[in-house]
Amino acid sequence: EAGVAQSPRYKIIEKRQSVAFWCNPISGHATLYWYQQILGQGPKLLIQFQNNGVVDDSQLPKDRFSAERLKGVDSTLKIQPAKLEDSAVYLCASSFWAGPQETQYFGPGTRLLVL
């Protein structure tokens, strides 16, 4: 079974530029998550989708970050404009359903460096 796919794997941009990340979850998984992992810390949830609806975006900096999952399958996370503090690894995860007992499976992540 294919895992969670993410692209690109690495991205270097200058501050105030925009960037987009793509994620394709495990087939059949209704729930998709985006996490931000700053160096030396654990991942922090940015947004959770159930099919194409947002379940939780309370920790998403909505002035610069946006995400969508239009067809309930793959998803895009965008940052516009980027700041230096956005340098991090952006991890996508998916689970079969949204309950707290569900195991989340993670993709390889996108390493973003903002100069």
- Could you tell me which residues come within 8 angstroms of residue 45 by beta carbon, excluding any fewer than 6 positions away? 33, 34, 35, 56, 59
Binding flags for other proteins, 51-70, as an x/- string (CB under 8 A): -----x-xx-----------
The answer to whether 107 contacts other proteins (rule: CB under 8 A) is yes
Q: Which of residues 75-94 bind other proteins (CB under 8 A)?
A: 89, 91, 93
Residue 25 touches other proteins, criterion: CB under 8 A: no
Residues that bind other proteins (CB under 8 A): 33, 40-45, 56, 58-59, 89, 91, 93, 99-101, 103-109, 111
